[in-house]
Amino acid sequence: MEFKGVGPVGVNIFLRELRGIWEKAKPHPSSMTIVTAQKIGLDIEDVERYESQLVRLNLEYCKKHRSLECPLGINCADK
């Protein structure tokens, strides 16, 4: 966060993408990730593993109220 314009969210995204590559990259899952995981009934142990995909689902479908088009189909609590 020493770089101008890089805050906690940017650092979290950077570290999230390094999981599995760099052992010390272990950011806490974002609240968006946890909410999306709960909607689809995903176990909390799998949240870190699928964080990027969960964020993408939230941004592309949940936030835009496009639940009917969501690839998860009836597996989402929003349906």
pLDDT tens per residue across span 16-58: 888 888 888 888 888 889 999 998 888 888 888 888 889 999 9
Is the whole model's pTM more than 0.75, yes or no? no
Count of domains forming the chain: 1
- Nearest C-alpha neighbor of 59 from the set 3, 13, 24: 13
Q: Is residue 1 one of the residues assigned to a domain? A: no
CA gap 2, 66 in Å, rounded: 37
Report residue 34 as tokens.
Answer: 């946890």
Parent domain of 66: 8-75
Q: Is residue 12 one of the residues assigned to a domain? A: yes
pLDDT of res. 79: 62
Q: What is the DSSP letter of 45?
A: G
Q: Is residue 24 one of the residues assigned to a domain? A: yes
